[in-house]
Amino acid sequence: MIAARFSRRLHRWLVGITAMVLVSLLAPAGAAHAGGEVPVPPNTGMTDKGTGAVTPADKDFVIKVRLAGLWEIPAGNMAVEKSDNPAIVNIGRTISAQHVVLDQMDREVAKKLGIQLPNQPNGDQLSWLAEMRNANATTFDQIYVDRLRAAHGKIFPAIATIRASTRNDSVRQLAQHANQFVMTHMTLLESSGIVDYATLPTAPPPAPVNKGPVPVDNQMLAATSSGGVPGVNTSVILLVLAVALVAGVVTTMRIFRTR
């Protein structure tokens, strides 16, 4: 009876200690806890001094943000005037007003960096505005939602590229803000329930192995193939487990002798 009780206690100690050791060794540092709220990027550490090199891609991004406002503001105003759907009217009003704010941010960055901005939409955008202008109350909503959703989907990955790669702090902050605006607008447009997803362009095929944007770590590959843990020596793990085992046995024996 006593031996069986001792065996059960010893087993529980060993399982508990081994689990704690493995969790502490294998869990990534600073792992985020799961939560119910969507995180919002903080502005901590971001500056807007115009410092850092400005690449041609940065200039193109600042110009594209300006172009987006030049046609989406009047498009939103048309939605307010022409649509009979209160949801579309609200979407158009919101997107138009928010693009006024984003356009002001963009023009301030362009002035700071000496980037020349256009004053009218490009050819494609003018044709979309003409299409909306010629639409009636029955056809307008679908045209408006599909054209804006496609445009936002096109600039969305461009924003991510600039946000991740730019060396200029003002462009980086503009990309940070633009990302939030565009994501909000995409969500608003999709809330209409009439987005024709089948007409959206498909994503490009994935890059071949070893040629993607993330470098392949040879150590990680070797550890994966051998079943090891990268950055952790197997002998170290075994030593820690052995120490934990001895500590568990000693503690259990003390408890047993006391009783």
For residue 61, the enclosing domain spans 56-199
Strand partners, 229: 232
Q: Assess if residue 22 is contained within a domain.
A: no
Number of domains observed in the structure of the chain? 1
Q: What is the DSSP letter of 212?
A: S
Give the list of residues 6+ apart from residue 169 with CB closer than 8 angstroms, or none: 46, 47, 48, 49, 50, 51, 52
Q: Assess if residue 72 is contained within a domain.
A: yes
Each residue's pLDDT tens digit, 202-236: 888 887 876 655 555 565 556 555 555 445 555 65
Q: Please give the span between the terminal C-alpha atoms of the chain, in angstroms, as a whole number.
A: 14
Higher pLDDT, 169 or 19: 169
CATH number, residue 187: 1.20.1260.10
Each residue's pLDDT tens digit, 154-200: 999 999 999 999 999 999 999 999 999 999 999 999 999 999 999 99
Q: Assess if residue 137 is contained within a domain.
A: yes
pTM, rounded to two decimals: 0.67
Q: Assess if residue 158 is contained within a domain.
A: yes
Q: Assess if residue 27 is contained within a domain.
A: no
Q: Assess if residue 100 is contained within a domain.
A: yes
Mean pLDDT in residue range 108-137: 97
**46-65: buried (b, 16+ CB within 10 Å) or exposed (e) per residue?**
eebeeebebeeebbebbbbb
Each residue's pLDDT tens digit, 55-103: 999 999 999 999 999 999 999 999 999 999 999 999 999 999 999 999 9
Per-residue tokens: 126: 């003018």
Q: Assess if residue 69 is contained within a domain.
A: yes
**What pLDDT score was predicted for residue 149?**
97
Q: Assess if residue 162 is contained within a domain.
A: yes
